Amino acid sequence: MKVTSAEFVKSAFERSHWPRDSRPEIAFLGRSNVGKSSLLNSLLQRKALARTSNTPGRTQSINYFLVNGAIPTSGARTGHPQTKSSGPGFYFVDLPGYGFAKVSKTMRADWGKMAEEYLSDRDELALCIQLVDSRHKPSQLDLQLHEWLLFNEKDHIVVATKSDKLSSNELSKQVRLIQNDMPGSRVISYSSETGKGRDAVWSEIAEALSKRS
Ligand code: GDP
């Protein structure tokens, strides 16, 4: 997919902040530091649209990015509104990273009521992209979220991040292991450093969006 425009729209701290324009939404989920901001920036080919930081758990909001959406700008010459790009577009939705508060026991406590509420109730949700670190076995929280997505029949894929940190042998082994732990989901390995996996992830996004149109 060609990204013609991408912009940060808002941070939602409660349900009433969720957009009301019915555009489909692609949600990104994963534990803090898994490489979620880097994946967003890499997919959108923007350097720092989503903030990358080494301070896990800092952002507790749901962040909305409008991709390929028509953004009216005032037409200086014609007096008519113009748009930077055509088409209604869709949202990338960056959910807070989970698994930072080690003391908490349940996913709800660990991760925040809002994210769970969003996943349960949001009709616009077209695809969940769950991130896991390709170098590690999925954590209990990763598995718990995955089971929740399966149980609730959410369309989803798993993206194994930081694949450039492994040799191709190690990576195949790890992807098999993740696939075993997370049956019923397509696992795509990704490197935000090299862009490997980008086309595969975009084609999953395009397919999910086409089901909605
Ligand atoms: P977030 O907390 O999930 O948003 O994670 P970030 O995107 O901020 O990434 C956490 C750290 O991992 C940063 O230091 C990134 O530079 C690094 N990182 C993220 N993705 C990759 C990747 O694909 N390859 C490599 N080598 N490092 C990555």
CA dihedral 72, 75, 81, 87 (to 10 degrees): -50
Share of the chain above pLDDT 90, in %: 63
Tokens in use for 35? 């490489």
User: Taking residues 67-88, what's their average pLDDT?
Assistant: 58
pLDDT tens-digit readout, 111-130: 667 788 899 999 999 999 99
CB 53 near ligand 1, within 6 Å: yes
Tokens in use for 148? 């929740």
Ligand 1 mutation target, pool 52, 62, 174, most atoms within 8 A of CB:
52
CA 51 – ligand 1 centroid, Å: 11
Average pLDDT, the chain: 85
Task: Please report how the helices 198-212 and 36-44 are oriented relative to each other, as an axis angle in degrees rounded to 10.
Answer: 80
Residue among 51, 60, 69, 59 nearest 7 (CA): 69
Res 83 pLDDT > 50: no
Claim: this prediction has a pTM higher than 0.95: no
pLDDT at 212: 84
Alpha-carbon gap, residue 190 to 164, rounded angstroms: 8
Alpha-carbon gap, residue 76 to 188, rounded angstroms: 45
Classify residue 139 by its DSSP letter.
P
pLDDT tens-digit readout, 160-194: 999 999 999 999 999 999 999 999 999 999 999 99
